[in-house]
Amino acid sequence: MGSNSFGKIFTFSTWGESHGKAIGVVVDGCPAGLPLDESLLQRDLDRRAPGSSPQVTPRAEKDKASICSGVFGGVTTGSPISIIIENTDADSAAYEGLAGLLRPGHANYTYLEKYGIFDHRGGGRASARETVGRVAAGAVARQLLAGSGVSAGAFLSAVGGCSFSDLPWDEALPFAARSRIFAPSAGAEAAFLRILEEARREGDSVGGLVSFVLGGVPSGLGDPVYAKLGAMLGSAILSIPACKGFELGEGFAVASLRGSACNDGFECSDGKIRPSGNRAGGILGGISTGLPIYGRAAFKPTSSISRPQRTLDLQGREAEFNLPPGSRHDVCVAVRAVPVVEAMCLIVLADAWLRNRSARLEGE
C-alpha cells in the first residue's frame, strides 16, 4: 500500500491499524535545534483522543506518545522523529461476525477491489484512528512555526445542518478551546449537543463542518502552478477520513458573485501594500498574501450506525448489516476532526515555510 506519506521537505508517514498493537508516525525534515516540548505534543493528542466526552466514542485510549528517535536532550537532532502510540483498548472480537459483510459507507469494498484483502477490525487502515499520527506530526509543526508567530485554530461550525459559521474568529476560537465539542459559543454548544443526543437516541449519526483560520502567515508562501498553498491545504484536509468537501475563503459562494463584488482591492498602511479585503481567504495565485487564511471542511455522517442497513455479503448475497452489541463509535466524526484539521494545516504551513527559504537569494 503506497501513499502513506505527505509533504516535500517537512514530511510525515503514518503507519498502523485501528486494532493493531500500535499506531505511529515518522516526521522527517524537521530542522535540528528545535526544542520539542513533549507536554505540548501530548496536549494536542489529548484534544483528539477518544473517550474525552459523552459525545464521542467511549473507546478508552490514552494516546500516550512515546518519542523513539530524532530528539536528544529535548532538542531535535535533524534525524527522523519517530513517535509511537500504543492501542490499549481495542476489542477485535466484536468485529468477527462482520468479516463476511460489506459495511455500508465503509472502505472495505474499495480496499477489497484494489488489494484483495481488508482488515475488518474497526476499519483497519481506513479507520480515523490513523489520524492520531497526523496530530502528533502537527504538534511538531506547531512548535516549529511558533517562533515565527504562525498559529492555527479550528472549531466545529455546523452539525446536522445547524450552522454557526459566521461567528467572529476572535470569539469563536477561545470558546472552542474550552468547549468539550469544540463549539464556537455557548448557544452553538447547546444546539449541537441537542442534535448529537437526538441522533444517538435514534441510533443514527450526523455530519458537520469544521472552520479553520491560520494567523500570522507571512506573505509569499506557496508555489505556482502545481504547489499552490490552497491546493496543498485542500489535499491535506481532503485526505482526512470522512472529509467530503473543502473550501477556501468565500469558497463556493464566489460562484454567485460578480467580479466587482469578489475582487479584493489594495491599500497602503504604514508604508506596506496589502489587500484591502480578504474574500480570497489569504491566498492569491496560490501564494499567501499575509492576511489570515480561512476556510471550511465538510465531514459526512459517521458510517457506523446502530440502525439495521441493507447490504451484501462477499458472495453478493443480500444481507442485513447490524453493528454488534457494545460497538463504540462517534455520533459525529466532525467533532474530533477539529484538531486533525488544525494539524494538517500546520503541516502544510511548515512545509511551505521551509520550501520558501530557497525561493530567492538573500537580498534579491
pLDDT in tens, 323-349: 877 677 899 999 999 999 999 999 999
Residue 312 vs residue 123, higher pLDDT: 312
Query: For the ranges 54-68, 81-95, 161-175, which has the lowest average pLDDT?
Result: 54-68
Question: Which of 40, 43, 31 is CA-nearest to residue 71?
Answer: 31
Contact criterion met (CB below 8 Å) for 351 and 232: yes
The contacts of residue 2 (CB under 8 Å, 6+ apart) are none
Task: Inform me whether the pLDDT recorded for 59 exceeds 60.
Answer: no
pLDDT at 54: 65
pLDDT at 206: 97
Q: Where are the domains of the chain?
A: 5-356
pLDDT above 90 covers a percentage of the chain that reads 80
Residue 136 vs residue 95, higher pLDDT: 136
Give the distance from CA 51 to its chain's centroid: 18
pLDDT at 351: 98
Read off the pLDDT band of 52 (50, 70, 90): low
Give dist(CA 131, CA 362) in Å, integer.
Answer: 38
Give dist(CA 222, CA 352) in Å, integer.
Answer: 6
The contacts of residue 218 (CB under 8 Å, 6+ apart) are 148, 150, 288, 290, 353
**Per-residue 3-state assignment (H helix, E strand, C coil) for the chain:** CCCCEECCCCEEEEEECCCCCEEEEEEECCCCCCECCHHHHHHHHHHHCCCCCCCCCCCCCCCCEEEEECEECCEECCCCEEEEEECCCCCHHHHHHHCCECCCCCCHHHHHHHHCCCCCCCCHHHCHHHHHHHHHHHHHHHHHHHCCCCEEEEEEEEECCEECCCCCHHHHHHHHHHCCCCCCCHHHHHHHHHHHHHHHHCCCCCCEEEEEEEECCCCCCCECCCECHHHHHHHHHHCCCCEEEEEECCHHHHHHCCHHHHCCCEEEECCEEEECCCCCCCEECCEECCCCEEEEEEECCCCCCCCCEEEEECCCCEEEECCCCCCCCCCCHHHHHHHHHHHHHHHHHHHHHHHHCCCCCCCC
Name the maximum alpha-carbon separation found in the chain: 71
For the chain, state the CA radius of gyration: 21
Question: pTM here?
Answer: 0.94
pLDDT at 55: 67
Mean pLDDT, the chain, whole residue set: 93
Give 165-175 pLDDT, tens digit per residue.
999 999 999 99
Give dist(CA 230, CA 345) in Å, integer.
Answer: 10
Distances (CA, A) of 318 to 102, 307, 321, 325: 10, 17, 10, 22
Average pLDDT over residues 34-43: 97
Give dist(CA 258, CA 256) in Å, integer.
Answer: 7
pLDDT at 19: 83
Which three cell numbers, joined as nine digits, stand for 185?
459559543
Contact criterion met (CB below 8 Å) for 164 and 184: yes
Grid cell 502567515 — which residue? 217
Task: Inform me whether the pLDDT recorded for 17 exceeds 90.
Answer: no
Give the distance from CA 169 to its chain's centroid: 19
Question: Which of 51, 232, 66 is CA-nearest to residue 133?
Answer: 66
Give dist(CA 321, CA 303) in Å, integer.
Answer: 12
CATH class of 5-356: alpha beta
pLDDT at 363: 57
Count the residues in the chain: 364
Question: Which of 5, 3, 6, 8 is CA-nearest to residue 351?
Answer: 8
Residue 113 vs residue 118, higher pLDDT: 113
Task: Inform me whether the pLDDT recorded for 242 exceeds 90.
Answer: yes
Task: Inform me whether the pLDDT recorded for 216 exceeds 70.
Answer: yes
